[in-house]
Amino acid sequence: MTQAKPIPVKVPQFGMAAEPPDWRVPLAEYERRLVAVEAAMEREGLSHLAVYGDREHFANLAWLTGLDPRFEEALCLMTPGRKPALLLGNECLGYVPAAPLAQAGRLEIVRFTDFSLPGQVRHNSTLFDTLSDFGVEAHSRVGVAGWKTYRTPQEIDAPSYIVDALRFRAGWENVVNAVNLFIDNDLGFRTVASPEEIAYFEWTNTLASEGMKRVIAAIKPGARDFDLLEQARYNGVPLAAHMTLKCGANRVSLASARGERVVQGGRFSCGIAYWGANCCRCGWVAEGPADLPAAAMDYVEAFAGPYFAAMAAWFEALRIGGTGDDLDRAIRSRLPWETFHVLLNAGHLIHLDEWVNAPAYEGSQVRLRSGMVMQADVIPSHPDYYSSRMEDGYVLADAALQAALPEGVLARCKARREFMRQALGLPVGDDVLPLGNLCGVVQPFLLKPELAFALC
């Protein structure tokens, strides 16, 4: 009978791109996106679209215009037949050249001082006046794209003063949540990635996974968390989430490093996330079961091994044409709640932001499509056994998309896939491209990183 067991595994040096890929989207692609969004507005009966962004929730605005706000919030107002208007505070005005559409004169740049930082001079013009200038009036139908969907179309996650002004101009019932134009699992513009984006995401996944390899290699009793995270060698690429690392007495989920030291027999976790990438690992600072607390000494047989076997079933379900329910059942049917407490979705979509949407949920009939970038983010937890993780990114790519990828990117992805199949026994399909250099690798005892799970 096939079982998941820790065995000696040598992870190959898959390498990385010799130069950072030029991920900047061509002007023609941005113009195509504007046309596509206007067509979607017409389909949805929208006269205007307000795309909101801030430092934390930037991805829809960045996808549309190329500008990810720094320090302040920003708003793009779209009206068919008119240049889109980008409303920016004082700090973001200097960042306008980041948007190719603005450089090409395809955006109207509006200095809107209410978006500026606290204490700066506000001009007399209000958002109400600005909306009037752009034709938002009674009986306009306005969509607002913030970050998430909610139970009703009237629930919108943009600042209240923006939504209030829109509703005052157009009527309460005429302002609706329109973020699904970007993040809907079936039709959202950002739920599939272009070849250029995939090449960039492969690079960021490689940066994150190579950093994680160095962090794990540096783990030893007494090591300080700050010093461990220095091994990530952060190079300035934009973060998708704050780096996390917990060890020693730090038991807070998603916690930052805070000066704790590694303890033998203790818990450890680390996450490194850039645009399009999040590499996360967790486990025990141990050489073997004898280092673990008494209640967790069967960690491999009772917890981490079954998790690895369930992820093998997850990879078998990860295929173009499969459903989100297939992914969900692969995990829920094998990891009972009473022991594994998998609270979040069994995987989700990742793009510029760490979590775009999640097609994997009970009963989901969402079909997995070529171009989807899936995060293998299945998080088991237990008060005694702690957790285990193989969180990395994977692209679903049909033959046409694979042919459109740079040769080096495709070759590295294929080499990773073959390693997962041959060395780890994971049934990874031909239409799945692993993006990082630790894909599939689960090391249960972090002081023995040469041991990793495989199906034997």
Could you tell me the domains of the chain?
Answer: 4-20+194-455 (3.90.230.10), 27-184 (3.40.350.10)
Please state, in angstroms and rounded to a whole number, the distance separating the CA atoms of residues 447 and 69.
Answer: 41
**pLDDT for position 207:** 98
Structure tokens at 42: 């017409």
Beta bridge partners of 88: 74, 111
Q: Which of 343, 326, 334, 354 is nearest to 378 (CA)?
A: 343
Mean per-residue pLDDT for 55-69?
A: 95
The strand order across the sheet containing 175-177 reads 108-111, 85-88, 74-78, 48-53, 142-145, 175-177
Q: Which of 58, 101, 103 is nearest to 83 (CA)?
A: 101
Tell me the CA end-to-end span of the chain in Å, nearest whole number: 8
Please state, in angstroms and rounded to a whole number, the distance separating the CA atoms of residues 98 and 427.
Answer: 42
**pLDDT for position 254:** 85
| Single pTM value for the model | 0.96
Rounded to 10 deg, the angle between the 195-217 and 407-422 helix axes is: 50
**pLDDT for position 124:** 66
What is the helix (H) or strand (E) element at residue 316, kind and residue range? helix 305-317
**pLDDT for position 251:** 85
Q: What is the pLDDT confidence band of residue 314, given thresholds at 50, 70 and 90? A: very high
**pLDDT for position 377:** 96
Instruction: List, in sequence order, the alpha helices (H) in 9-114.
Output: 27-44, 59-65, 90-93, 100-103
Is residue 170 within 8 Å of residue 49, measured between CB atoms? no
pLDDT tens-place string over residues 102-152: 999 999 999 998 999 898 888 767 888 889 888 999 989 999 999 999 999
Average pLDDT over the chain reads: 95
Distances (CA, A) of 318 to 314, 372, 428: 6, 11, 8
Residue 23 pLDDT greater than 80, yes or no:
no
**pLDDT for position 233:** 97
Please state, in angstroms and rounded to a whole number, the distance separating the CA atoms of residues 389 and 394.
Answer: 15
